Structure 1
Amino acid sequence: MDTPIYDFLRSYAASGTLRAHMPGHKGNTDAELGELFALDITEINGADSLFEADGIIAQSEHNTSRLYGSKASVFSAGGSTLCIQAMLALMKQERRRVIAVRNVHRAFLNAAALLRLDVQWIMPRYSGGILSGELQLADVAAALAADHTPACVYVTSPDYTGRLADTAALARLCHSYGAKLLVDNAHGAHLAFMEKNQHPIALGADLCCDSAHKMLPALTGAAILHTSCEEYVPRLKQATSLFGSTSPSYLIMASLDLCNRYISESIRDDIAAAMPRLAELRSALSGIYVFADSEPFHITVEAAESGFCGSELAELLRKEGVECEYADDELVILLMSPFSAEEDYRRLQAALESAASGASPVCIEPFSFQPKLPQMALAICEAAFAESEEIPVEEAEGRICASVKVPCPPAIPIAVSGELIDSECIDLFRAYGIKTVLVVKN
């Protein structure tokens, strides 16, 4: 597959052109980041422009759309955050009420504040903490049936642990009510190329975002906004331009361009080779660890159920030269990708075996709770932009949550801007090591 952005950058770098334009490094190859500087440009003649694309960027985006089978796919150099903002802006333009499953990323909450959106929450049936839970279709149906106002439903799938929602069933349900389905597929850019296509666009989602950098060989910040709806095709660029930088990184866009070539030439073979390695790793360690149900490349160890402390396992893995994606006392999340080398699986298996032999057996009582929604006292936007103060969580009961200040990861909201912080919120803050919270100043 052609790579128009990357080819242009390489050609320009080799041309010897005097760069009387931004950026200030002038492509100096003798500097510390010289190899990157040579390919780092701005919107010069022939380089196209992300939000008005009709040249090399448009060509590359068209390649992406063909690979994913979307009506249109557009690039983001601002991660899935920009795509989430754009999806919600489109819903705001259509005056749709927003129904969202609660395990959203902080980016969703910030977008809701910026767009002055009210959100109707659906709580998943959590198990083992707040990072993952099962979504009940009946809960979505009840939310849709409760109000005849045009709606959209927003879900995160895969979630942070790799659990997949039943996107096809959700899409059928939403469309039966005339609602749009939006999917935060940040962790699932590879799903279109599994033996069975599991990508949200193929399963009926109207809009979805992929963080290419999470599961594909792309630079951090590389993401894609897809739609399956013809009516959104001419509106995607305008929606992303509301929030995106007017100086998007050409290095990030070039990495998306090169991802197209990787997908077209190699990803299916790489996935086919990885599947037995992933299965073998889980099988070999099944007598030691309990693994969560997830898409294959998320290796989520249920540490507490396995008789270990996840935080200790993560530290032992670190000593073996393995850095995990996330760990708390209950879970260890390890991310592989289709691009992972065969040797990486051997190293990971050996490290997990070594960590288990060096860890102290413990009995950690897993979370067994179903949190309730805190009471809403202010609109999200009012609380997010109110004067606030940071206080210890122990002093926060009865106070109104201001801007959501949570670690990333997991970035799952315990209390949302405008909600009253109650004793259950405080227990969860403590469980996840969150010591302070921003509250609306009295």
Structure 2
Amino acid sequence: MGNRRIKILNYRKEKQPGLLERLTEYAGSDAYPFHMPGHKRREIPDGIPGGFPDPYGIDITEIDGFDNLHHAEGILKDAMDEAAAIYGADRSWYLVNGSTCGILSAVFATTENGGKILTARNCHKAVYHAIYLNRLEAEYLYPEEITEFGINGGIRAEDVRKALEKDAMRCAGNSGDVRGKNTKIQAVLITSPTYEGVVSDIRAIADAAHEYGIPLIVDEAHGAHLEYADQCHSFPKSALEYGADIVIQSLHKTLPCFTQTAILHVKGKFVDQDRVSRYLSMFQTSSPSYLFMAGMERCIRYMDGDGRNGMVRYEERLEHFMERMEGLQVLEVLDREICGKYRTVAGWDPSKIVVSTMRAEDFHGEELAETLRRKYHLEMEMTAPEYVIAMTSLMDTEEGFERLGTALLEIDGALRHCVEPEQQKEKGESKEKERCETPEVTESKVLHPVRRMLICEAMDADTERTAFQDTVGKVSAEFVYLYPPGIPIIAPGEVFTDAIVEKIMAYKAAGLLVQGPADPDADVILTLSSEDGNNGCTGPLILIQ
């Protein structure tokens, strides 16, 4: 037996069971998935005998009669046209590489190489990858902070309008702009709903963009279910209904569809559909999964039928859960009151259960998530320093909501016993006061780094390895973000400050998943070499007030 074979056998012997065995074991456990995908490991109840077929039996390639996603003329074109009609789009495209390929294609379709984009700072990392690949200059919109929960609010339409007006005036005067016409903002991109369910005023933002002939791209990855909530009273409407030009949605996040499935919609006159198709052909795999596409068609058809009634029943389960959560004294669950209390919140998606630990003594998001996982076998979608997110869908059961509600009430009771009676009284009075008053909305929780150069310039420059604690004053050549949700704390070309380093180190100390650097332990980051770090300057990062 050769050395290579011996090495392989030893490797398998030393390792834990393989991925398939681990998945099978997890599926057979009583762990409840308060995380994506939205099917929650359950079959769509659409009456198909036997449910979804054996995947091996229907996994094919582009054979005669089954069309081609990249040149759809038959059954796939019909399926996508049906989706467009359901969602109210001019045209819709299936995405088998997730919302990421939709975001990349949307940005490339609406901007020129070396151009400029106005984007919310709290966008997904895919937006930043598009900025790098198309060598764009990014101007940022900062959401305000909802201090009560330690989360970001929405994007203000007046900030969008101010940025576009300033950009138009500068371009008209050509005030020493060496990049000429390409510096004109060519697209606006925001995320709504956010990971926490916050919805921005899409209609007002779209109106502001359209005044300058600019398309609005909305990353609505967490909002594919909104179209089907027309019989409900608590869900916001989709961005498509409020004037967005391109909307990208992850079917797998909030609907009963396979992981990696998504859809892109175009509506209106501000987007060239042919450019969208061109870039989708570049960013999507040339071997799209027919399992995924069949799953998307099945999901959309179900949601357009029985799924709409299912959303009503789902809303009832959510409302019952929220009624139970009124008994919390230390923990707190985000609710729709934020819509009236915060000026930047135009709507709220109740499918996101955000549980805050901010009022607890020495009990943080990571500890809450670990307690829910270890003691109650409930797996959360996301953990942050001050809260956790339980991600729900219409496929969540009454039993699932009951388990989560009971767990939170028990944990809350245990936390109350750790607080002195007088402190309990103060907490109760404080809670009632918070409900009656409009709290202050402060500057964004997102840090505002200074930009030394563009993302593309920094990523292509000479670099050196630097320990995180020694990065203050240096220019980053890598992204650093907490995942999920994948929003950069710092981007290439930006300068490390004490506050940024402290934030990253605090995340690491809390055991949260810091990603982005090539170093898997995130102890070392690539920074620009001393020579490159002092060359070239596009000025400080513009903060739009």
Shift of 1:214: 0.3
The match for 1:353 is 409
The match for 2:351 is 297
One-letter code aligned to 1:252 = F
Paired with 2:463 and 2:327, the residues of 1 have a C-alpha distance of 50
> 1:267-325: per-residue Cα shift (whole Å, max 9, x none)?
21111111122122112112313222441100111221355422111111112121000
Determine whether 1:189 maps to 2:209. no
Contact 2:114/2:135 (CA < 8 Å) preserved in 1? no
The residue correspondences of 1:60-99 to structure 2 (distance < 5 A) are: 60-93=79-112, 97-99=116-118
Shift of 1:124: 1.3
Paired with 2:72 and 2:381, the residues of 1 have a C-alpha distance of 35
Paired with 1:130 and 1:75, the residues of 2 have a C-alpha distance of 35
One-letter code aligned to 2:403 = R
The match for 2:165 is 145
SS in 2 for 1:406: strand
Paired with 1:221 and 1:374, the residues of 2 have a C-alpha distance of 32
Paired with 1:59 and 1:306, the residues of 2 have a C-alpha distance of 53
Q: Give the RMSD, CA atoms, in angstroms.
A: 2.4
Q: Whose radius of gyration is greater, 1 or 2?
A: 2
Determine whether 1:425 maps to 2:500. yes
Paired with 2:352 and 2:405, the residues of 1 have a C-alpha distance of 14
Shift of 1:45: 1.9
Paired with 1:327 and 1:236, the residues of 2 have a C-alpha distance of 35
Shift of 1:43: 1.6
The match for 1:439 is 527
My pick for the range that moved more, 295-304 or 351-360, is 351-360
Structure 1: runs of 5 or more not aligned? 1-33
- The change in CA–CA distance for 1:305 and 1:369 in structure 2 (over 3 A counts) is farther
Paired with 2:245 and 2:317, the residues of 1 have a C-alpha distance of 34
The match for 2:276 is 236
The match for 1:158 is 193
Shift of 1:410: 2.3
The residue correspondences of 1:92-111 to structure 2 (distance < 5 A) are: 92-93=111-112, 97-111=116-130
SS in 1 for 2:93: strand
> 1:26-73: per-residue Cα shift (whole Å, max 9, x none)?
xxxxxxxx9322222222222211111112211111111011000011
- TM-score between both structures, scaled by the size of structure 1: 0.85
My pick for the range that moved more, 427-436 or 146-155, is 427-436
Contact 2:476/2:526 (CA < 8 Å) preserved in 1? yes
My pick for the range that moved more, 201-210 or 264-273, is 264-273
Contact 1:130/1:412 (CA < 8 Å) preserved in 2? no
The residue correspondences of 1:44-59 to structure 2 (distance < 5 A) are: 44-59=63-78
Q: Provide the identity percentage.
A: 32
One-letter code aligned to 2:279 = A
Determine whether 1:313 maps to 2:368. yes
One-letter code aligned to 2:367 = E
- The change in CA–CA distance for 1:377 and 1:78 in structure 2 (over 3 A counts) is same
Aligned length, in residue pairs = 406
> 1:126-148: per-residue Cα shift (whole Å, max 9, x none)?
23587523322222111010112
Contact 2:156/2:201 (CA < 8 Å) preserved in 1? no
Determine whether 1:411 maps to 2:486. yes
Shift of 1:341: 2.2
One-letter code aligned to 1:337 = S
Out of 169, 174, 185, the residue aligned to residue 209 of structure 2 is 174
The match for 2:539 is none
Shift of 1:372: 5.1
The match for 2:540 is none
SS in 1 for 2:481: coil
Paired with 1:206 and 1:255, the residues of 2 have a C-alpha distance of 26
Structure 2: runs of 5 or more not aligned? 1-52, 169-183, 339-347, 424-440, 509-513, 515-521, 531-545
Shift of 1:249: 1.8
The match for 1:395 is 470
Paired with 2:128 and 2:119, the residues of 1 have a C-alpha distance of 10
